[in-house]
Amino acid sequence: MANYKLVSFDKIPSTQTYALGLVSRGAAHDHMIIMANAQSAGRGRYRRTWISHHGNLYASFIFSADERDPRLSYVAAVAVADTLLSFGVHAKIKWPNDILIDGKKVCGILIEYAGNFVIVGIGINIKTNPTIPEYPTTRLDNYAHIDRNSLLNKLMRNLDRWRCTEFASVRARWMDMAAGLNRMVKYRGDMVELIGINENGALVLRDKTRYILAYGDEISM
């Protein structure tokens, strides 16, 4: 496993925003982690607020990246789900970047590119979980007592392992853990069947007459 440099705070506005600031100032480097005990302005996808109380894991992993790779979101999701499984917690991956336990969100992943780096933000509910009207949430303490440092160390190892693994194996693992496969999802206003992902990281969908490849945020589940 590569050596990580850990920068830890009790509370900051956002680990992701801090990491982006490091990149913009030329102070970021490969295998750097920004972690906080709490965030006052945590961010999720679409700049949604990520409610970030004390006791959970909030970390942004900085890696060198020469180009954007849509497959990285699958790598990160598999790494998180495998990490939870190593502690006896069975999780599912909801496309694109949510980790569920018993259908409830326990983790969110945010991937952003800046300069020659990619920042993988991961928030895992350990001790507390927010009440969100749009979807149910949960926390790890409901299923197992997991030390946050142990969780982080295992996650670091799994991120390194899966980033170095050929995508065919990542894809197979993602398919094993995916929630919603062979179910109907909405794509550009129409209901289609979610079949899986292909070797390039595109979603494979099927309507009544054809297969469709979808990228980005084109579907809703």
To the question of domain 5-177 being in CATH 3.90.1260.10, the answer is no
The ranges of the chain annotated as CATH 3.30.930.10 are 5-177
Residue 199 to residue 211: CA distance in whole angstroms: 15
* 62-99: pLDDT as tens digits: 999 989 998 999 999 999 999 999 999 999 999 878 99
* 24-69: pLDDT as tens digits: 999 999 999 999 999 987 776 545 666 677 899 999 999 999 899 9
Whole-structure pTM value: 0.91
